[in-house]
Amino acid sequence: MYSRARAFLLSSLIITTFGFLTALCQGFYSLLIMRAIVGVGVAGLPVGFDILAEAMPSSGRGKFGFYMEFFWTAGGLYVVLMAWLLLEQLGWQIFTAAAALPTLVASLAGYMSLPESPRWLVDMDRESEALAIVKSWAKSNGVDMRHQQLIKSSHHTDNVSVLDLFRRSALRWKTFAHSLVWFSFGVSYYGIVMLLPRIFKKGVESGEVAQSCELDFDNKDLLISSSAEIVGLLLGICMIDYPGRVFTQGFFYAITGVCSFLLGFRSLGLQFLTVVASIGRLGAMAASSATWVQCPELFPTAVRGEAHAFMNLSSKIGAFLAPFAISDLFTQWQSATIMAVVSLMGAAMALTLPETAGEELSAVSEVPETQYGSDQSDLEISQSDSDPSYSSD
């Protein structure tokens, strides 16, 4: 039987398997096919984040979501470090194999410890499995659940699809605005990452910035700018609950936009642009992490997986266009302006979304019953007065 957890594990397995197979490629087309299949696997990774968000209480969901983003930054630092140590000395095949090692570790960890989403299980009429998982969580946290019952208010929803995100008036604007935020995330984050080699190309003299992108770039400067993401995450943790998700996204996407624009001025000098690039990457990381945190909070369980997948698609479209935006088709100033405009658009769209900090998922994701073929399901585990209760939209 299919499930969210199995979908995530399948995605991890695809990434790991074809990540290692990439190292065996002997030609361009085989390399292209292997990396394309890895991209297919990457599309399923948001499922794991949704399971985490659905398991967290509203009071800690924002900060804990940011904690997970430290692993993204650690992965980025790991790849740059491996490129620094292995790429020139041992070749790209060894480097590719080394880059796939963390995905193998993550796949094994997920297989051993990743639970199914209780909210999704209830939506699928699998209440006993959901209750067993919540009981295991309560036991691990020392919570007494001797007096409890699982209450489901109505039948589960009919089959839904990504089209319901646009058909239902309660979801339409959130889907449109949030998808533009994710598109902005794709362009701004990946664009600024790919623009850095163009700025930090070896051989720069007298403070001038290179005008063309080459493979031979300065990994040391890239490590410094990558490390700025850690600062962005720390700042985001301080802001994600207050002033909240909306302000955090709007503020940091705006910071990224301003920094992206400044990166277009070669006359400012390499040292100054290094600082600007670090602040821009800091802003992009904080903003995109807040976007990840808010996404599962904006949509009900019935369409949460489809919504997050669609948002991830929006960001990948932005990431796909980012290399063209920073290519030799445009001058460095034009590339920086494009990224700045897109980042500021993301900031504006984020400010139109409802604030979800501190809210239960059932409250912020509520959809009227008449908008689906049958009533929304609701899970509540009632316990003694001294014990916490759990609820699901």
Give the tens place of pLDDT for each residue, 41-85: 988 888 889 888 888 888 889 999 999 999 988 898 898 889 888
Q: How far apart (Å, rounded) are the C-alpha atoms in residues 386 and 391?
A: 16
Residue 32: what pLDDT?
A: 93
For domain 157-376, give the CATH number.
Answer: 1.20.1250.20
Residue 117: what pLDDT?
A: 83
- Quick check: 305 and 45 in contact, CB under 8 A? no
Q: What is the three-class DSSP state of 217?
A: strand
Among the listed residues 304, 4, 317, 344, the one whose alpha carbon sits nearest the alpha carbon of residue 175 = 304
Beta bridge partners, 150, equal 381
CB atoms within 10 A of CB 195: 24
Report domain extents, the chain. 1-114, 118-156+377-392, 157-376
Among the listed residues 127, 179, 124, the one whose alpha carbon sits nearest the alpha carbon of residue 148 = 127
Q: In what order do the strands lie in the sheet with 379-382?
A: 149-152, 379-382, 390-392
Q: How far apart (Å, rounded) are the C-alpha atoms in residues 102 and 203?
A: 33
- 94-108, 154-168, 185-199, 247-261: the lowest-pLDDT one: 154-168
- Quick check: 27 and 14 in contact, CB under 8 A? no
**DSSP of 257-299:** HHHHHHTT-GGG-HHHHHHHHHHHHHHHHHHHHHHHHHHHHHS
Q: What percent of the chain has pLDDT over 90?
A: 42
Binning pLDDT at 50, 70 and 90, where does residue 158 land?
low
Binning pLDDT at 50, 70 and 90, where does residue 301 land?
confident
Residues with Cβ within 8 Å of residue 132, at least 6 apart in sequence: none
Binning pLDDT at 50, 70 and 90, where does residue 326 land?
confident
Which phi and psi angles does 304 have, rounded to 5°?
-60, -45
Beta-sheet pairing, 379-382 with 149-152: antiparallel
Beta bridge partners, 380, equal 151, 391
Dump pLDDT digits (tens) for 211-233: 444 445 556 666 776 788 899 99
Q: How far apart (Å, rounded) are the C-alpha atoms in residues 281 and 344?
A: 15
Q: How far apart (Å, rounded) are the C-alpha atoms in residues 68 and 344?
A: 26
DSSP secondary-structure letter at 154?
A: S
- Quick check: 216 and 201 in contact, CB under 8 A? yes
The answer, yes or no, to whether residue 153 has pLDDT greater than 50, is no
